[in-house]
Amino acid sequence: MRFPTFFALFVTFLVWLAYKLRKSDRQDNSFWIREAEADNVRRQTLDNLDYITIPLDSLPFFSGIDEKLDDIQQSIRNLAACTIVNLSKYTNTELKLMYGPANLTALTEYDQNFTNLVRTLQKWAECLSALGYDHEAIQVLEFAVSIKSDVTAGYVLLAKLYLKQNEPSRINSLISSASELDTLLKDSLVKQLEALRSQSQSFPEILP
């Protein structure tokens, strides 16, 4: 009696495996069809991209205070001369379908510049806060949020700085911005910000 049962299970497994293989084949075929379509798209204009400009005149630059700070600020100035676009929510195939494969190298560079920018802004804010310049750190982080930075640590640091300034209500807009992020950590980040907003006392110090 045990042999038929084992045989039935084996047959069921083979049917399931065949289904999975066919599904995988269909997905692979769909991918390659879409990729082939993308590779044949003619070069499109990039005029409609949401270009990011670094407002050097309104950001808090200092001189001669700290060597690490000087290096970070120079990196920001260097990035200001680059073309910056946040394209993180798109795959390469999607970019080629929208703008053509001939633009992919440039688009990849623009997106990498964005990644470098938001990471450098985070370092800048952390350095300013560590040096006691909380107001200036808030300026930097608010700019990062305005360009939809996906560095979640920046949102948490900004919320803590708002608390330190006894302005917990400002976390409301921060939560709204965080909820619009295209990142897997969005829900976790929003929960962290909501928890911080509920705090009634200022933090005595900001952890790095």
Identify the band that residue 198 occupies on the pLDDT scale cut at 50, 70 and 90.
confident
The structural domain count of the chain equals 2
Judge if 16 and 104 occupy the same domain: no
Q: Residue 36's pLDDT is what?
A: 74
Answer yes or no: do 100 and 65 share one domain. Answer: yes
Residue 115 lies inside a defined structural domain of this protein:
yes
List C-alpha distances in Å: 66 to 56, 75, 130.
Answer: 19, 14, 11
Sign of the alpha-carbon torsion through 63, 64, 66, 69: positive
Asked, for residue 177, whether it belongs to a domain, the answer is yes
In a domain, 207, yes or no: no
Instruction: Name the DSSP letter for residue 202.
Output: -
Q: Which of 129, 132, 204 is nearest to 163 (CA)?
A: 204
pLDDT digits over 121-142, tens only?
Answer: 999 999 999 999 999 999 999 9
Token digits of residue 118:
């938001």
Mean pLDDT of 165-188: 90
- The domain of 93 spans 41-197
Q: Are 82 and 68 members of one domain?
A: yes
In a domain, 163, yes or no: yes
pTM of the model: 0.79
Which residues in 72-83 are b (16+ Cβ under 10 Å) and which e?
bbebbeebeeee
Which range has the top average pLDDT, 17-21, 55-59, 191-195? 55-59
Mean pLDDT to the nearest integer, 76-91:
95
- The DSSP annotation for 91-133 comes to -HHHHHHHH-GGGHHHHHHHHHHHHHHHHHHHHHHHHHHHTT-
Question: Is the residue at 129 inside a domain?
Answer: yes
205 inside domain:
no
Would 15 be classed as within a structural domain?
yes
CA 122 to chain centroid: 12
**pLDDT at position 203, please?**
47
The pLDDT value recorded for residue 16 is 54
Average pLDDT value over all residues in the chain: 85
- pLDDT band of residue 4 (cuts 50, 70, 90) is low
In a shared domain, residues 78 and 4 = no
206 assigned to some structural domain: no
Tell whether 82 and 148 lie within a shared domain: yes
Considering the domain architecture, whether residues 28 and 78 belong to the same structural domain is answered as no
